[in-house]
Amino acid sequence: MRSRPFKQIDVFTATPYAGNPLAVVLDGSDLSDDDMQGFARWTHLSETTFVLPPTEPSADYRVRIFTPGGEMPFAGHPTLGTCHAWLEAGGKPKAPRHIVQQCAAGLITLRRDGTRLAFGAPPLRRSAPSPSLLAKVAAALGLKARQIRAAQLLDNGPVWLGLLLDTPDTVLALQPDHRMLAELGQKVGVAGIHPADESPMPLIARSSREARAFSQSERADIRLEVRAFASPVGVDEDPVTGSLNASLAQWLIDDGQLPESYLAAQGQCLGRAGRVHVTRDAERQVWVGGDSVTCIDGSVVL
């Protein structure tokens, strides 16, 4: 065991402690799989990452991503937060305009827009879920069939069952049975679309906690409300989820449900103010971006 540089980053927010925290061990060399998994269980954050030298010539660094329950090939908020930590620690990209991260899902390109980072969403595979799975998940979420507008299995590394619900209000009111979701072994992402001419503000009038977390100006441009339930990997509800937002964007923009540029909100039911900036460029590449801020900077003995 030795001292290793360590940061804890809050992702998808410019305000400390309002987004999704990420633990980043900036030197993961000589750590075993068990060492990494054990530390990820100890942090008990939705994800913990370990930075390693790349093995691909075009990559700037390699990262391994762990939840409390296992390793992931790719995840969005760890991608943004690890890149933020690597740059802040003095990392120098090989290319002037982008950073290339190597992970188990392959090479992920990130770009800088001022101080905000965005990752290029990996290719999406999607398919219709089985009626049996959909019925069981709906029961675990307390949803009626008429409240589900559309459903897709979304795979961009992590696999999510994506549900488009009838209203954002339905999304925010969910009180899932997390034990049932864990037994099903399926991560579930739910979303509701705000009409372009409708303010989302009335949705938070019910809860003083939500009202404290958001101001009118912060919510004025939000088009999508998102929640992510990941009980099968030891996280009942993830505060802000990049991989899910990426796959939702690829699905819903392709199907004409959302414009090619929009702002998503996630985390409000946990008292967070996650903001996810989504854009699809002329080459049809979806970029998922957000602010990141360092909350803890020091070392860890591993």
Whichever domain contains 16, its CATH number is: 3.10.310.10
Number of domains comprising the chain: 2
> Within this chain, do residues 276 and 295 fall inside the same structural domain, yes or no?
no
> Within this chain, do residues 152 and 74 fall inside the same structural domain, yes or no?
no
> Within this chain, do residues 113 and 152 fall inside the same structural domain, yes or no?
no
5-31 pLDDT per residue, tens: 999 999 999 999 999 999 999 999 999
> Within this chain, do residues 129 and 277 fall inside the same structural domain, yes or no?
yes
3-class DSSP string for 97-155: CEEEEEECCEEEEEEEECCEEEEECCCCEEECCCHHHHHHHHHHHCCCHHHEEEEEEEE
Q: Pick the catalytic residue from 47, 210, 225, 237.
A: 47
Q: Rounded mean pLDDT of 167-171?
A: 97
| The predicted structure's pLDDT at residue 234 | 86
115-165 pLDDT per residue, tens: 899 999 999 999 999 999 999 999 999 999 999 999 999 999 889 999 999
- Residue 69 near residue 28 (C-beta atoms within 8 A): no
> Within this chain, do residues 109 and 144 fall inside the same structural domain, yes or no?
no
> Within this chain, do residues 97 and 212 fall inside the same structural domain, yes or no?
no
| Annotation marks residue 47 as catalytic | yes
Domain with 137, as residue range(s), is 125-281
> Within this chain, do residues 273 and 137 fall inside the same structural domain, yes or no?
yes
> Within this chain, do residues 46 and 158 fall inside the same structural domain, yes or no?
no
Overall size of the chain counted in residues: 302
> Within this chain, do residues 134 and 276 fall inside the same structural domain, yes or no?
yes
75-124 pLDDT per residue, tens: 999 999 999 999 999 999 999 889 999 999 999 999 998 889 999 999 99
- Percent of the chain residues topping a pLDDT of 90: 87
> Within this chain, do residues 210 and 143 fall inside the same structural domain, yes or no?
yes
| The predicted structure's pLDDT at residue 212 | 47
> Within this chain, do residues 148 and 271 fall inside the same structural domain, yes or no?
yes
> Within this chain, do residues 48 and 132 fall inside the same structural domain, yes or no?
no
